[in-house]
Amino acid sequence: MVLAETPAAELRYAWRVLSVTGLGMWVTFSSVSMVPVALPDMVGDLGAGPAQANWFVLAYQLVTAVLMLPLGRLSDVLGRRTVYVSGLALVTGSTLAICLAGSPEWVVVLRGLQGVGAAAVITNTTALLVDAFPAGHVSRGIGWNITIMSTAVALGPLLGGLLTESFGWRGVFALSAPLALLGTVWAAVALRRTRPITRGRIRADPWGTVLSVLAVGGIVLAVNRVGDGVGTAAFLVPLLAAVLGLVLFVLVERRVSNPILDLRLVLVRFRGSAYAATALLNLGLAAGPLLVSLYLQSLHGLTALAAGLCITAQACGNILVGPFAGRWAATTEARVLATAGAALAVTGAALLALVFALGGSGLPVAGALFVVGLGNGLFQTTNASVINIGVRPWERGMANGFRVMIDNSAALLGSAAALVLVTAWLPHAARADALAGATGGFTADELAAFATAFPVAVGALAVLSLVAVGVSALRGRAPLPEEA
């Protein structure tokens, strides 16, 4: 007979799992945030063309986005430890290989493999925490996990700049590889070996998998080509593929017995509202740091480092509130806490639009982003926790894979919409220069139009995010973890 573990032993194991997921989140998100800083040096050293340079980023984004839902579901079938450790091992191997790559083609392939591993890690993180933490402590684990992720996002650009200046672009990957190896070994040691909880209950859903890849991949590719113009085939073809894939996905998933996404999870009022609210909030707010970077460098002449320091204010807000949000979410109704967080984030976005309208820079911009970070940290911790309430153990990978997939897709769409809005008032010939920060040759009228576009873009996206506040407020009462 196997004796049940004491609550204290169970909680110790849960915090050990958090150390595993925290290290995995640090590896994946710091790597993501460091690469854009190193990109110019990568392009120059490898002799990459514009298309190859684009795929250095796109290969990772595309593969990660399309595989989050399938790999989340796969962890329900094969076991989370298996998928998570395999994912980190793949990140380790591909990152090390990138350090040694001598051609842009190999870097693109390896970045895609890195994306496969990252998707396995990111989509399983919350499910691992929900499996490990007792019901009343889940939100605390998720809060600390989001705090670690925010720290990686905040420090990544600074570390990337220092490593690139000191060792070249390979230094970025040379730092990530041993951390990923450490994370892989620690995950293999610390995570318990358990049998897959499905025990043959679930079979493959090939059509659902293919259609989910078509829908999400179409969105990512359309977003990537939005700069070519919204009327071009390069934009419209993947967009239509995404719409077709989404419609067919819903029709197919309603009829199969073992869907990759059980639509009944979404149709529960408090959970479906949580999914919708996180999608809308990411759609409206995710472009904030991108717009701030462009605004500060193009219109105020700040360096990339100075702009990066301002942008870290948003991550600092997330870091500050994350641990407290986890505690509050365990005892406070999710509708109240998540709605308050969303409202605070929208307030920060409105302040940012006001700062842009007044021509401010530096500290006022950082202050507005800090408010956005506070609200977003409060919302995301609460929302991620409530999505898991009442989800059966063999569906947790599915539920969390879907959440991170829609978060990622909404953020990409929001960023694309922001770039369209901020350049829409410029002549077509000047738009590429505007996005590159090369505004030195602009006329006074073009500069004025560009400056006016920033508060308009941020204000429009803030109004969209305001819808997320309403959706969150109307979600109905979700049970607290202890009640579930």
484, pLDDT greater than 50 = no
In this structure, what token pair is assigned to residue 411?
A: 């953020």
Closest-CA residue to 470 (of 374, 286, 346, 321)? 346
105, pLDDT greater than 50 = yes
31 compared with 186, residue with greater pLDDT: 186
69, pLDDT greater than 70 = yes
Per-residue pLDDT at 196? 61
458, pLDDT greater than 70 = yes
50, pLDDT greater than 90 = no
Alpha-carbon distance of 243 to 291, in angstroms, equals 27
In this structure, what token pair is assigned to residue 159?
A: 């570390």
- Are the beta carbons of 85 and 187 closer than 8 angstroms? yes
Alpha-carbon distance of 299 to 447, in angstroms, equals 8
Helix runs in 47-137, H state only: 50-78, 80-100, 104-132
466 conformational bin, left if phi > 0, alpha if psi -120 to 50, beta if neither: alpha
What pLDDT band is residue 1 in, cutting at 50, 70 and 90? Answer: very low
Highest mean pLDDT among 307-316, 338-347, 358-367, 420-429: 338-347
Alpha-carbon distance of 34 to 95, in angstroms, equals 13
430, pLDDT greater than 70 = no
234, pLDDT greater than 70 = yes
Per-residue pLDDT at 200? 53
- The DSSP secondary structure of 419-473, one letter per residue, reads HHHHHTTS-HHHHHHHHTT--TT--HHHHHHHHHHHHHHHHHHHHHHHHHHHHHH
Alpha-carbon distance of 62 to 215, in angstroms, equals 11
Q: N- to C-terminal Cα distance for the chain?
A: 28
Alpha-carbon distance of 75 to 87, in angstroms, equals 11
Closest-CA residue to 396 (of 85, 29, 138, 65)? 138
Per-residue pLDDT at 370? 92
In this structure, what token pair is assigned to residue 329?
A: 């979410």
Per-residue pLDDT at 437? 61
pLDDT, tens only, 72-103: 888 888 888 889 999 999 999 999 999 888 88
Residue 63 sits at the vertex; the CA angle it makes with 59 and 68, to the nearest 5 degrees, is 155
In this structure, what token pair is assigned to residue 294?
A: 């462009």
pLDDT, tens only, 184-225: 999 999 988 776 655 555 666 788 788 888 888 888 888 777
- How many CB atoms are located within 10 Å of the residue 106 CB? 14
* Contacts with 467 (C-beta within 8 Å, 6 or more apart), sequence order: 280
* Contacts with 159 (C-beta within 8 Å, 6 or more apart), sequence order: 30, 34, 172, 175
Per-residue pLDDT at 202? 63
- Please report, rounded to a whole number, the percentage of residues in the chain having pLDDT higher than 70: 89
pLDDT, tens only, 147-160: 888 888 877 777 87
What pTM was estimated for this model as a whole? 0.79
H or E segment to which residue 338 belongs:
helix 334-358
Highest mean pLDDT among 310-319, 427-436, 444-453, 473-482: 310-319
317, pLDDT greater than 80 = yes
- Are the beta carbons of 348 and 98 closer than 8 angstroms? no
Closest-CA residue to 31 (of 84, 98, 86)? 98
- Are the beta carbons of 293 and 388 closer than 8 angstroms? no
Alpha-carbon distance of 293 to 307, in angstroms, equals 6
124, pLDDT greater than 70 = yes
Alpha-carbon distance of 10 to 451, in angstroms, equals 55
Q: Which amino acid is residue 317, in one-letter code?
A: G
Mean pLDDT, to the nearest integer, of 153-177?
A: 82
Give SS3 for 297: helix
Per-residue pLDDT at 206? 81
19, pLDDT greater than 70 = yes
pLDDT, tens only, 252-264: 888 877 777 777 8
Closest-CA residue to 315 (of 372, 383, 361, 354)? 372
In this structure, what token pair is assigned to residue 471?
A: 């959706």
Lowest mean pLDDT among 72-81, 258-267, 332-341, 437-446: 437-446
125, pLDDT greater than 80 = yes
What pLDDT band is residue 482 in, cutting at 50, 70 and 90? Answer: very low
Per-residue pLDDT at 140? 83
Q: Which amino acid is residue 131, in one-letter code?
A: D
- Please report, rounded to a whole number, the percentage of residues in the chain having pLDDT higher than 90: 11
Per-residue pLDDT at 439? 67
Lowest mean pLDDT among 20-24, 128-132, 256-260: 256-260
What is the residue-averaged pLDDT of the chain?
81
What pLDDT band is residue 421 in, cutting at 50, 70 and 90? Answer: confident
310, pLDDT greater than 50 = yes
